[in-house]
Amino acid sequence: MTLADLIAQARDALNTAIATRQQEQEALLALRSDPNLTEDAVAERVRTRDAADGEVTRRQAALDELLAEQAREEEIAALQARTAPTGNRPPAYDRVARVGSEERTYRPDLDRRGAAFERDVAAAFLGDYEARDRLSRHMQEERVERGDQLVRAVGTGAFTGLVVPQYLTELYAPAAAARRPFADAIRGHSLPAEGMTVNISRITTATSTAIQASENTAVSETNIDDTLMTINVQTNAGQQTLSRQSIERGAGVEPVVLDDLFRRYATTLDSTLINQATNGLTNVATAVAYTDASPTAAELYPKVIQGLSEVEAALLDQATGDNLAVMHSRRWYWMQNAMGSTWPMISQPGIVQQTLGTNYAEAYGRGVRGVLPNGTPVIVDNNIGTTLGAGTEDEIYLVDRNECHLWEDASAPMYIRAEQPAAATLGVLMVVYGYFAYTHARYAHARKVAGTGLIAPTFTGV
Q: What is the mean pLDDT of each run of 10 residues along the chain (462 residues)?
A: 80 84 81 74 83 87 84 75 52 52 75 70 72 82 64 40 61 76 95 92 94 95 94 94 80 77 94 98 97 93 96 96 96 89 68 70 90 92 95 97 93 70 77 94 96 95 84
Enumerate helices (H) and strands (E) in the chain, giving the number of each. Answer: 10, 15
The pLDDT of residue 101: 57
pLDDT of residue 28: 78
Q: How far apart are CA 122 and CA 191, in angstroms?
A: 30
pLDDT at 167: 63
Write down the pLDDT at residue 168: 62
* Distance (Å, whole) CA 384 – CA 397: 9
Main-chain dihedrals φ then ψ at residue 243, nearest 5 degrees: -75, 150
Which helix H or strand E contains 51, and what residues bound it? helix 39-83
Which residues lie below 8 Å from residue 98, measured CB to CB, with a gap of 6+? Answer: 137
Contact call for residues 423 and 241 (beta carbons, < 8 A): no
- Closest residue by Cα to residue 178 from 278, 283, 274: 274
**What angle is formed at CA 424 by the lines to CA 423 and CA 430, rounded to 5 degrees?**
35
Nearest CA to 297 among 256, 242, 250, 334?
334
Rounded to two decimals, what is the model's pTM? 0.64
Give the CB-side neighbour count of residue 460, counting CA atoms within 13 A: 9
Quick one: residue 361, left, alpha or beta (phi over 0 = left, psi -120 to 50 = alpha)?
Answer: left
Dist. CA 110–CA 106, nearest whole Å:
8
Confidence (pLDDT) at 328:
98
> What whole-number distance in Å separates Cα of residue 333 and Cα of residue 303?
18
Q: Are 329 and 344 contacting, i.e. CB atoms less than 8 angstroms apart?
A: no
Rounded to whole angstroms, the maximal C-alpha distance in the chain is: 100
Residues 6+ apart with CB under 8 A from 67: 7
Backbone phi, psi, residue 45, to 5°: -65, -35
The pLDDT assigned to 157 comes to 39
Q: Is 136 left (phi over 0), alpha (psi -120 to 50) or beta?
A: alpha
| β-bridge pairing 427-439 and 415-422 | antiparallel
- What per-residue confidence (pLDDT) applies to 3? 79
Between helices 253-275 and 115-124, what is the axis angle to 10°? 90
Q: What is the DSSP letter of 388?
A: B
Helices 3-32 and 129-146, packing angle to 10 deg: 30
CA gap 59, 341 in Å, rounded? 66
* The dihedral sign for the CA sequence 34, 40, 43, 44: negative
Tell me the CA end-to-end span of the chain in Å, nearest whole number: 71
* Cβ contacts of 115 within 8 Å, gap of 6 or more: 251, 252, 254, 255
Q: Helix or strand or coil: residue 230?
A: strand
Please provide residue 400's backbone torsions phi and psi, each rounded to the nearest 5 degrees.
Answer: -85, 120
- Dist CA 252 CA 290 (whole Å): 49
Whole-number pLDDT of residue 160: 44
In Å, how far from its chain's centre is CA 40? 36
Which residues on neighbouring strands pair with residue 48, listed in sequence order? none
Task: Report the alpha-carbon distance of residue 159 to residue 161 in Å, rounded.
Answer: 5
User: How open is the CA angle 243-238-130, to the nearest 5 degrees?
Assistant: 50
Q: What is the DSSP letter of 285?
A: S
The predicted pLDDT at position 114 comes to 65
pLDDT of residue 242: 85
Per-residue pLDDT, 116: 76
In the prediction, which pLDDT does 185 show?
96
Exposed e or buried b for every residue in 228-255, given b needs 16+ CB within 10 A? Answer: eeebebbebeeeeebebeebeeeeebbb
pLDDT at 380: 97
